[in-house]
Amino acid sequence: MAERVTIVEVAARAGVAISSVSSALNDRPGVSEQTRARIKQAADDLGFVPSVRGRSLSAKRAFAVGLVVHRDPFVLESDPFFGSFIGGLESVLDPRGYALILQMGSAADETLDRYRRLAAGRRVDGVFLNELVVDDPRVPLVQQLGLPAVGVNPAAGFPLPAVRQDDSAGIRELVDHLVALGHRRFAHVSGPDRFVHARRRSAAWRDALVAADRDPGVVVEADFTYDGGARAAAQLLGGGGAGGSARVGDGSVRVDDPSERPTAVFCANDLAAIGFMAEADRLGVRVPDDVSVAGFDGIELGTYVRPALTTLTTAPRLIGAEAARLLLAAVDGDPVPDAEIDHARLLVRASTAPAPR
């Protein structure tokens, strides 16, 4: 096996001091741009690969950042949103020489403990806070730990740098689309109420329907999964089913009368919408002839189901890239203004159609 090229050899090849090589390869001041270019060319010619351990010691950094997924591990297996989001993180982290440490923590205490362990011994230089919940305990924890952090789609007034993508404009587009199709009975399959983004989508849906002079109808709280969407369909379409609860205002209901069933349903993510459509089919309720269904996220799977899913397309890869850019800026000690991604947009496919007569 070939021996590892050392920084000493790079210095000899470029005709400079070892300290100059360290400054050039770590993008620190102290060398001219001409010398920096010569050193980098020498490193490339020799096939030099920096030692992460040595780089960390000299820069007093871990050159790693953390992401703790704050839900059941099944989410990563089933929801393509997370793959795109992580791909966006990596597109920025890898060129900067940073590693992503990914951990799972579904229980609240377990999740907080993972952040403490990541901060201990400087295992990471910063963390991403996604899947934020109401009064999220991770926020005061990272502040207490002095750990740079970036929030993903937090609520207003978030005290840390954040990247946001507006839900409300796209949801208004969806409501306008459904109202134009003649729908008057609506329902929403929401995510768990503890999640900030679930509450925001529910509020945007309700506000858009009220603004359109329509009754917001029934809300069924689900869990962003295929099975959760199927259970919601069983409730809303009169098939019974266990788990979850439907509500109008503060009262629980089950919609058993076909004449009272919603004709248009908005699910808080695409996986739930696909599960909803599958259960509707099993119950003999036709999509979109009997009920129109729309999702949120724009995952590729929605293209292949039949009928193809009307959805609100987001930009998880861009969100991840912007979150990584903000976090590295925070680690560097630079000013970090929030980043705003272009809002979610309506993509009309075959799962929505004129209301049944």
Residues facing residue 346 across a β-bridge = 312
Domain boundaries, the chain: 1-43, 64-165+316-341, 168-314
pLDDT at 74: 67
* Residue with tokens 């009272």, as numbered in its chain: 260
What homologous superfamily does CATH list for 168-314?
A: Response regulator (3.40.50.2300)
Burial (Cβ within 10 Å: 0-12, 13-18, ≥19) of residue 140: exposed
Question: In the CATH scheme, what is the code of domain 64-165+316-341?
Answer: 3.40.50.2300
Low-confidence ranges of the chain (pLDDT < 70): 1-3, 50-60, 72-76, 106-108, 239-258
Give the tokens for residue 168. Answer: 């409300």
Give backbone dihedrals phi and psi of 202, rounded to 5 degrees, phi first. Answer: -60, -45
Q: Where are the alpha helices (DSSP H) in 94-151?
A: 108-119, 138-145
User: Which of 347, 334, 319, 343 lies closest to 162, judged by CA?
Assistant: 319
pLDDT at 73: 67
Q: How far is CA 271 from the centre of its chain?
A: 14
pLDDT at 66: 95
- Residue 163 CB coordination number (10 Å): 25
pLDDT at 8: 83
- pTM for the model: 0.80
Do the first three CATH levels of 64-165+316-341 and 168-314 match, i.e. the same topology? yes
pLDDT at 109: 74
